[in-house]
Amino acid sequence: MPQIIFRMLFLISLLASSLIAQNQETGNLRGLVTDSTTSEALAYGNVFIKELGKGASTDSKGYFLIASVPANRNLTLVISYIGYRTKQISIFLVKNKVTHYDIKLTPTGVELQTIEKIGEKVIERNETDISLQRIVARDLEALPKGVETDIFRSIQYLPGVQSTGDVSARFYVRGGASNQNLVLIDGVTVYNPFHALGLFSVIDPDMINNVEFYKGGFSADLGGRLSSVMRINTKDGNKNRLSAKGTASFLTGKFLLEGPIPDGSFILTGRKSYSNEILKKFLNEQSVPIDFYDFSFKANYSSPDFLQGGKFTINGFFSGDNIKNNDPRIEDFKWNNNIFGFKWFQVGDSPLFYELGISISSFTGEVIPKLSSVRQTENKVEDVSLLMDFTYMFDNKDEIGVGFHIKQVKTDLFLENARGIPTNLGTAAANITFYTKYKFLQWDLFGVDVGTRFNLTTLSRNKQSSIIEPRVNFTFSFIPEIAIKGAWGIYQQEMTTISDEDEVINIFEPWIISPDYMIPARSTQYILGTEIKPFESFLLSVEGYYKLVNNLPLLNDEKILPSDPDFLAGKGESYGLEVMTKINPNPINFTGSYTLAYAYKELDGLRYYPRYDIRHTVSLALEINFGSGWSANTVWVYNSGLPFTQLLGYYDKYYFNDIFAPWDVFDPRQPFTIIGIQNLGRLPDYHRMDFTVSKKMNFDFANIEVDVSIINLYNRKNIFYFKRDTGEKVNMLPFLPTATVKVSL
């Protein structure tokens, strides 16, 4: 295997050398687009050379590169970003050189920023970005807030993303379980990204610059999960002035502090829960002593005197949850995430970008039984990662990417058996991955991204672990207004959680590396779709997908003896169709989507529906800007019924815990529930409307924003579940008004 890799690298270097050596009367244009007021990167903006009719889009870091631009002549560069004033600058390129421009755009004003979709891009005819949703921080403001803005709840409005109810922010993508979703903060894995029984994510939206959310078809530089990848890129902090922001909702208080440092900037964010009253609406009026916090910091340094084109970043993220019940007969829970990362990003005199990153991510979770019948459980995950990524862009617009990812993972799972004897199911291993990918973009009508991951070592000790994970994405655009896109790939996941699908709310899901007796889960995905944009304010996209999962680790419900395995190898299958349209004539934005989806699991030849199998989903969102800082938006969601296991009846079962106890004092009979076939029934259809009105006010001393939201506007009684012991119906969120106040200094 190493010989194959070295040969590939040698051939790649020969190809690059031959292309660079070509003597052409052209140069390469590179630039960085930022906000003039904060110097934050503006991701996914549009850059266009007027005289040539060619352009590019900025990436998640705000950079763009246009190759093979005629040199030694004056040209006009047009930079546009919705919500900012369009800017034109004169450029002049030197032959066979990379000419760099730093470009600052000025915001157009509060009123336009309120409604317009910041960073929305026009179709690039050969861009291989199927199943990718790009989101910037201000996009989140366009959705009803609920209790407060949450990125996980926001993506549930996207086609192909499912939820099992109002209570949980856990999301399920195209028939995959929630533990098949990878969440990255600045490239670092977050193992438990949920607060408060899973009601909210741990990620404060105020720290987000942009999000890249892959519903499938992600390229070779990303791996480790079967379903989706959410890559969150955080803000750098205001490089122009010191500023602060405070926010209060019915649930939490938040702060943000940012400002300049010599040759860089910093940002601090924090959030703390202070009231549980609003959560009673989520939990059927039951009071749960939820207490959580999250805190993040980031600092960056970039000085041409130290290293031209280099940028150094350190970041940290910390979150914790503590559920402490006063009743000694009820167990307690606590868990926390701790993340630290360092990155060096470099651009040079050639069209080469490379990045070196080192990170530590740890997760600790614990179940404290006290006097309850629950057993002591403690889970620890320690992840130390090193990444090296290189991207080179040729003069013909093709790109090549190579990289090494090294991940050392140690997991501990401390359990108590029925006799109270502790045991540890933990292990430690290293995953060393080399990836390479080539983007063929030199033809305007056709683009393809071909790559593969080579797992030189794997976390799993099973010898049948996959060594190669090939991926292919393509785009064909026979006319400018229509693009046909597709993807095929093989994906492997070597870590899993211990979770019970029958639980209504999964409070604690410990992570472990796949046991040695299990072959790591492996999925094959097929995606085909089209994107139609006949004019600027209208977009229609249609995607169909098919996903097959083998060696899916499923909890062994029939385990009796200690020697019996904890997991059994099952199968998963899902397929569906997703339709989404966007219509945004100023000052109105409308987004509508429909999903037809099928999901199945199979164990020991028995095929059944998982709890998140929703056949039909409709989402409609409307936003209107009324001017003078006023805006309003509403979302209506419809889901066909969720699967559930039906109650067939009850009978009195005798429990002989103490055969000597007198029956006239202790009745050994207790009701026993008879249930039907797993998830064969369907709950009634679900639908709900949320509404938000917002007002932005600017004063000399501060900017104030007030949001008033109503969840479940017409008080639809959506069924959450039936209690197994009584058959009582429990509904989801009722009519619920909330408010948020944000003050920026």
Residues 513 and 364 in one domain: yes
Q: Which residue has the higher pLDDT, 466 or 534?
A: 534
The DSSP secondary structure of 500-516, one letter per residue, reads -TT-SS-----EEEPPT
Work out the end-to-end distance of the chain between its first and last CA atoms, rounded to an integer number of angstroms: 57
Residue linked to tokens 């969150």: 232
Is the pLDDT at 490 greater than 50? The verdict is: yes
Residues 269 and 141 in one domain: yes
Mean pLDDT, range 57-80, rounded to an integer: 89
To 5 degrees, how large is the angle CA 318–CA 320–CA 323? 175
Residue 404 maps to a domain: yes
Residue linked to tokens 């003597």: 23
Residue linked to tokens 């000694």: 328
Q: Which residues of 638-668 are buried (b: 16+ CB within 10 A; e: fewer)?
A: ebbebbbbebeeeeeeeeeeeeeeeeeeeee
Least confident residue range of 374-388, 452-466, 654-668: 654-668
Residues 181 and 65 in one domain: no
Q: Decide which of 64, 86, 115 is a domain's last residue.
A: 115
Q: Which residue has the higher pLDDT, 523 or 9?
A: 523
Residue 112: which pLDDT band, with cuts at 50, 70 and 90?
A: very low
- Sorted by sequence, the CB contacts under 8 Å of residue 685 that are 6+ apart come out as 638, 639, 640, 641
Residue 676 maps to a domain: no
Q: Are 267 and 298 in contact (CB under 8 A)?
A: yes
Cα→Cα distances 337→380, 507, 583, 707, Å: 10, 15, 40, 30
Is the pLDDT at 104 greater than 70? The verdict is: yes
d(CA 650, CA 675): 9
What 3-state DSSP class applies to 262? coil
Element (H, E) at 18: helix 2-21
Which residues on neighbouring strands pair with residue 35, listed in sequence order?
105
Is the pLDDT at 10 greater than 50? The verdict is: no
Q: Decide which of 68, 86, 115 is a domain's last residue.
A: 115
Q: Are 607 and 600 in contact (CB under 8 A)?
A: yes
Residue linked to tokens 């305007």: 444
Residue 20: which pLDDT band, with cuts at 50, 70 and 90?
A: very low
Residues 316 and 342 in one domain: yes
Mean pLDDT, range 377-389, rounded to an integer: 93
Residue 671 maps to a domain: no
* Per-residue confidence (pLDDT) for residue 654, from 0 to 100: 57
Residues 221 and 167 in one domain: yes
Is the pLDDT at 84 greater than 90? The verdict is: no
Least confident residue range of 402-406, 636-640, 672-676: 672-676
Q: Are 44 and 136 in contact (CB under 8 A)?
A: yes
Is the pLDDT at 406 greater than 90? The verdict is: yes
Tokens standing for 235? 């803000």
Q: How many helices (H) and strands (E) does the chain have?
A: 3, 48
Q: Which residue has the higher pLDDT, 150 or 260?
A: 260
Residues 58 and 181 in one domain: no
How far is C-alpha 638 from the geometric centre of its chain's CA atoms?
23
* Per-residue confidence (pLDDT) for residue 430, from 0 to 100: 92
d(CA 191, CA 189): 6
The CATH number of the domain holding residue 519 is 2.40.170.20
d(CA 727, CA 469): 47
Residue (of 113, 192, 612) closest to 381 by Cα position:
192
Q: pLDDT tens digit string along 671-692?
A: 666 676 778 888 899 999 999 8
Q: Which residue has the higher pLDDT, 115 or 597?
A: 597
Q: Environment class of residue 72 by beta-carbon count within 10 Å: exposed (0-12), middle (13-18) or buried (19+)?
A: exposed
What 3-state DSSP class applies to 533? strand
- Supply the mean pLDDT for the chain: 84
Residue 383: which pLDDT band, with cuts at 50, 70 and 90?
A: very high
Residue 292 maps to a domain: yes
Residues 606 and 718 in one domain: yes
Residue 123 maps to a domain: no
Mean pLDDT, range 468-490, rounded to an integer: 92
d(CA 729, CA 727): 6
Element (H, E) at 9: helix 2-21
Range among 86-90, 382-386, 652-656, 701-705 rated most confident:
382-386
Report whether the peptide linkage leading into residue 587 is cis, meaning its omega lies within 30 degrees of zero. yes
Residues 29 and 95 in one domain: yes
What 3-state DSSP class applies to 142? helix
* Per-residue confidence (pLDDT) for residue 23, from 0 to 100: 46
Residue range of the domain that includes 84? 2-115
d(CA 298, CA 127): 31
Cα→Cα distances 717→464, 724, 732, Å: 49, 20, 7
Q: Decide which of 82, 115, 148 is a domain's last residue.
A: 115
Residue 659 maps to a domain: no
How far is C-alpha 367 from the geometric centre of its chain's CA atoms?
27
Residues 614 and 517 in one domain: yes
Q: Other CB atoms closer than 10 Å to residue 725's CB: what's the count?
A: 11
Q: Which residue has the higher pLDDT, 613 or 124?
A: 613
Residues 293 and 422 in one domain: yes
* Per-residue confidence (pLDDT) for residue 417, from 0 to 100: 60
Residue 194 maps to a domain: yes
Residue (of 531, 444, 482, 431) closest to 133 by Cα position:
531
* Residue 14 DSSP class: H
Is the pLDDT at 32 greater than 50? The verdict is: yes
Residue (of 695, 645, 696) closest to 673 by Cα position:
645
- Sorted by sequence, the CB contacts under 8 Å of residue 109 that are 6+ apart come out as none
Tokens standing for 288? 């749960």
Residue linked to tokens 């292919």: 472
* Per-residue confidence (pLDDT) for residue 286, from 0 to 100: 65
Q: Are 609 and 131 in contact (CB under 8 A)?
A: no
Q: Are 647 and 674 in contact (CB under 8 A)?
A: yes
Residues 224 and 303 in one domain: yes
* Per-residue confidence (pLDDT) for residue 330, from 0 to 100: 81
Q: Which residue has the higher pLDDT, 127 or 214?
A: 214
Tokens standing for 133? 């949703």
d(CA 221, CA 389): 8
Element (H, E) at 636: strand 630-639
Residue 249: which pLDDT band, with cuts at 50, 70 and 90?
A: confident
d(CA 175, CA 93): 50
% of the chain with per-residue pLDDT over 90: 41
Q: Environment class of residue 535 by beta-carbon count within 10 Å: exposed (0-12), middle (13-18) or buried (19+)?
A: exposed
Residue 616: which pLDDT band, with cuts at 50, 70 and 90?
A: very high
Residue 559 maps to a domain: yes
Residues 232 and 377 in one domain: yes
Phi-psi region of 393 (alpha: psi -120 to 50; beta: other; left: phi over 0): beta
* Per-residue confidence (pLDDT) for residue 742, from 0 to 100: 85
Tokens standing for 621? 């969102």
The total of structural domains in the chain comes to 2
Least confident residue range of 27-31, 346-350, 362-366, 651-655: 651-655
Mean pLDDT, range 620-630, rounded to an integer: 87
* Per-residue confidence (pLDDT) for residue 502, from 0 to 100: 65
Tokens standing for 293? 């916090």
Residue 577: which pLDDT band, with cuts at 50, 70 and 90?
A: very high
The CATH number of the domain holding residue 12 is 2.60.40.1120
